[in-house]
């Protein structure tokens, strides 16, 4: 059995002020990136525009509503499954044992409870059913 170290989730121990500061920093970085992208778009020369038009015509020829082949969809599905399985946080052995014991305990508890309720209902019904038989006999 392959054993794999369980990665524990880390709690964010930063204060609210530090969290707000990091959010502001991220917002500033995002706005700076968008400004540099805008500048790059504006600085393009006029001779590159026809090349862009050609590439959009090539994209327009391919049908966006057309589904990929069955094989391509299967391959994409397998890649997505692999990516999701890497994100799963698997329980440790003690967590798994505890959860299993809780489930088995709940099954036993509810099984016994249903058996008791069943017998409580069946005993009076049996008594009622035997009353008619003894009166005829």
Digit-coded pLDDT (tens) for 45-54? 444 555 555 5
Which helix or strand (DSSP H or E) is residue 78 part of?
Answer: helix 70-87
pTM of the model: 0.38
Q: What is the span of the domain harbouring residue 121? A: 90-137
- Does residue 106 lie in a domain region? yes
- Does residue 62 lie in a domain region? no
Counting the structural domains of the chain, the total is 1
- Does residue 6 lie in a domain region? no
pLDDT tens digits, one per residue of 97-110: 999 999 999 999 99
- Does residue 58 lie in a domain region? no
Which positions of the chain have pLDDT values less than 50? 1, 45-47, 137
* Distance separating alpha carbons of residues 87 and 44, to the nearest angstrom: 41
Question: Is the distance from CB of 73 to CB of 67 less than 8 angstroms?
Answer: yes
Chain-centre distance of CA 2, in angstroms? 25
**What pLDDT is recorded for position 3?**
57
- Does residue 107 lie in a domain region? yes
Question: Is the distance from CB of 89 to CB of 9 less than 8 angstroms?
Answer: yes
């Amino acid at each position: 059995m392959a054993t794999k170290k369980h990665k524990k989730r880390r709690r964010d121990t930063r204060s609210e002020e530090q969290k707000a500061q990091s959010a502001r920093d991220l917002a500033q970085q995002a706005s700076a990136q968008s400004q540099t992208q805008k500048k790059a778009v504006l600085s393009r020369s006029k001779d590159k525009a026809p090349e862009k038009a050609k590439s959009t015509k090539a994209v327009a020829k391919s049908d966006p509503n057309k589904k990929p082949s069955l094989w391509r969809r299967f391959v994409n599905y397998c890649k997505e499954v692999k990516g999701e399985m890497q994100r799963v946080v698997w329980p440790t052995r003690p967590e798994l044992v505890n959860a299993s014991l809780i489930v088995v305990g709940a099954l036993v508890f509810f099984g016994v409870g249903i058996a008791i309720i069943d017998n409580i209902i069946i005993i009076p019904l049996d008594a009622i059913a035997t009353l008619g038989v003894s009166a005829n006999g």
